[in-house]
């Protein structure tokens, strides 16, 4: 009896998450453009090329307009869908924005060439996703809601399937399991994908990182369980804190019912193009070889790869690198105090920074960041478990935590932002750039006005920073 064919689809991350994970999002538009024509002929389900940290890094380190990058990529990709990563009510920034900014950003993203918007919330609070999903629906874009995968008593199969049903009801077109720290192990992937396929009719996509060393095996089991799409990276920018290699996964499923149908010869040409870029990044120190290894501590502490490098740099600045393991052990404790939230941007930075303070101060929560206070005050959304009441009291005193969606308390922001940006505005999108990163945006606008159309590569920032997912 012939086995029913169910080709798995491939979403390529080399133009976004792969270089974000390995070389701090420093790939320039100029480096991307020459290979687009070949990538467009592969037959990818989609290419992820925008969102996440690319927006910030383009402005801050590369002196590039991210909107211009998107338009150039759209011009080059004639046959392939373009995908972006979007942090729900936080958009691509680190604070919750008013609904008018979220809606306008979605509208402009789609108008400039994005087909699929992957929308997630660091707390998995669906209230923080609804505005973006509705806006994508309105603009005829594909709204994919990503569940930030994490471990803990509360994160049962029942939790995930209930979330999936609610996501379907809110108008999403597909669901992504976003395993930002590489915590999903192979047989758990079988269970999770099977349960989600039974709970919903929406396509299921799986995104993971190789950090803990199990990602390829996890993909194999997930595909056998019925996952529709997997995220992979071209081999020069694969593995380590990035995704499994595209070519390896294509070869794995060749000749099986899940055969992708992608041509290894075409993929080899693309890999040849990116390999010198990877080698140069290794030579200049932009790619830290440590990021290419397996870090099993990910499974112990649930710390995403990008967050690990953040912690390292914070401790280095404080001349306290000997406290690294103390901080790693403090991270799960802080996470538990803060309602056992998933660790993904921006919650990963918030928890990580607070863990550093707790260790360096010698007393837990002696020094508390504004962001930690905001989490405990309910501004980032509802957590799956209650906050530690003693910690909450110590950090925010008698402040009454909010229980509504925080954005409901925000006045529309666009009129004020338009006024502030008046002297710099050259395109509608500039107001959104300014909304997300006011100071960085103004610096970029001044640079742009000076008509330096091409940044000198020698002058570009090559410092190895950390941009978690």
Pairing outcome for strands 142-148 and 46-51:
unpaired
Q: What is the structure's pLDDT at 453?
A: 55
Q: What is the mean pLDDT of residues 458-469?
A: 44
Q: What is the mean pLDDT of residues 307-325?
A: 84
Q: What is the mean pLDDT of residues 106-124?
A: 97
What CA–CA distances, in Å, run from 100 to 78, 105, 416?
31, 9, 12
Residues 9-23 pLDDT 10s? 999 999 999 999 899
The answer to whether the CB of 239 falls within 8 A of the CB of 278 is: no
Residues 128-139 pLDDT 10s? 999 999 999 999
Asked whether the domain spanning 303-403 has the same topology as the one spanning 9-289, the reply is: no
Q: What is the mean pLDDT of residues 428-455?
A: 88
Residues 62-72 pLDDT 10s? 999 999 999 99
How many Å is the maximal CA-CA distance in the chain?
Answer: 70
Q: What is the structure's pLDDT at 464?
A: 43
Of the listed ranges 94-108, 196-210, 216-230, 290-304, the least confidently predicted one is 290-304
Of the listed ranges 261-270, 278-287, 300-309, 335-344, the least confidently predicted one is 300-309
Q: Which residues pair with 47 in a beta bridge?
A: 12, 82
Q: What is the mean pLDDT of residues 351-373?
A: 96
Residues 70-85 pLDDT 10s? 999 999 999 999 999 9
Residue 140 has pLDDT above 70, yes or no: yes
Q: What is the mean pLDDT of residues 45-50?
A: 98
Q: What is the structure's pLDDT at 184?
A: 97
Per the prediction, the chain carries an average pLDDT of: 93
Model confidence at 272, pLDDT cuts 50, 70, 90, reads very high
Q: Has domain 303-403 been given CATH number 1.10.472.90?
A: yes
Residue 469 has pLDDT above 50, yes or no: no
State the DSSP string of 370-426.
Answer: HHHHHHHTTTT---SS---HHHHHHHHTT-----S-GGGGPPP-HHHHHHHHGGG-S
Residue 461 has pLDDT above 50, yes or no: no
Residue 451 has pLDDT above 80, yes or no: no
Residue 468 has pLDDT above 50, yes or no: no
Residue 367 has pLDDT above 90, yes or no: yes
Model confidence at 332, pLDDT cuts 50, 70, 90, reads very high
Q: What is the structure's pLDDT at 313?
A: 76
Q: Has domain 9-289 been given CATH number 3.40.47.10?
A: no
Domain boundaries, the chain: 9-289, 303-403, 412-453
Write a three-state SS string for 285-349.
CCCCHHHHCCCCHHHHHCCCHHHHHHHHHHHHHCCCHHHHHHHHHHHHHHHHHCCCCCCCCCHHH
Higher-confidence position of 415 and 313 = 415
- The rounded percent of the chain whose pLDDT value lies above 70 is 95
């Amino acid at each position: 009896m012939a086995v029913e064919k169910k080709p798995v689809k491939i979403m390529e991350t080399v133009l976004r998450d792969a270089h974000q994970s390995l070389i701090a999002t420093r790939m320039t538009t100029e480096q991307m453009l020459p290979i687009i024509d070949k990538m467009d002929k592969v037959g990818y389900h989609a290419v992820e090329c925008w969102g996440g940290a690319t927006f910030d890094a383009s402005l801050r380190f590369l002196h590039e307009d991210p909107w211009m990058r998107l338009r150039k990529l759209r011009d080059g990709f004639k046959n392939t869908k373009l995908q972006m990563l979007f942090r729900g009510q936080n958009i691509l920034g680190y604070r919750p924005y008013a609904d008018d900014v979220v809606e306008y950003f979605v509208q402009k993203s789609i108008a400039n060439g994005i087909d699929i918007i992957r929308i997630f919330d660091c707390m998995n609070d669906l209230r923080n996703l609804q505005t973006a999903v509705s806006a994508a629906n309105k603009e005829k874009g594909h709204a994919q809601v990503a569940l930030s995968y994490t471990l803990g008593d509360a994160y049962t199969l029942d939790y995930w399937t209930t979330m999936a049903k609610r996501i379907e009801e809110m108008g999403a077109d597909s669901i992504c399991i976003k395993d930002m720290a590489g915590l999903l192990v192979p047989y758990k992937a079988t269970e999770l994908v099977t349960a989600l396929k039974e709970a919903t009719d929406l396509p299921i996509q799986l995104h993971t990182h190789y950090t803990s060393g199990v990602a390829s095996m996890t993909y194999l089991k997930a595909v056998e369980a019925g996952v529709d799409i997997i995220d992979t990276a071209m081999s020069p920018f694969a593995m380590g804190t990035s995704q499994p290699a595209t070519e390896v996964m294509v070869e794995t499923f060749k000749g099986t019912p899940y055969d992708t149908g992608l041509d290894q010869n075409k993929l080899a040409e693309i890999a040849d193009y990116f390999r010198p870029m990877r080698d140069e990044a290794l030579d200049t120190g932009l790619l830290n070889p440590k990021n290419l290894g397996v870090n099993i501590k990910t499974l112990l502490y649930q710390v995403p790869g990008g967050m690990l490098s953040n912690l390292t740099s914070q401790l280095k600045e404080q001349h306290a690198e000997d406290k690294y393991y103390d901080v790693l052990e403090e991270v799960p404790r802080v996470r538990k105090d803060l309602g056992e939230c998933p660790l993904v941007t921006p919650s990963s930075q918030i928890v990580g920074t607070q863990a550093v303070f707790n260790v360096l101060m010698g007393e837990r929560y002696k020094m508390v960041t504004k962001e930690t206070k905001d989490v405990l005050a309910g501004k980032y959304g509802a957590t799956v478990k209650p906050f530690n009441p003693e910690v909450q009291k110590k950090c925010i005193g008698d402040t009454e935590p909010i229980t509504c969606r925080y954005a409901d308390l925000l006045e529309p922001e666009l009129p004020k932002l338009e006024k502030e940006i008046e002297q710099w505005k050259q395109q509608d999108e500039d107001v959104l750039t300014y909304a997300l990163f006011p100071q960085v945006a103004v610096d970029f606008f001044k640079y742009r006005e000076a008509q330096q159309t091409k940044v000198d590569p020698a002058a570009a920032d090559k410092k190895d920073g950390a941009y978690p997912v």
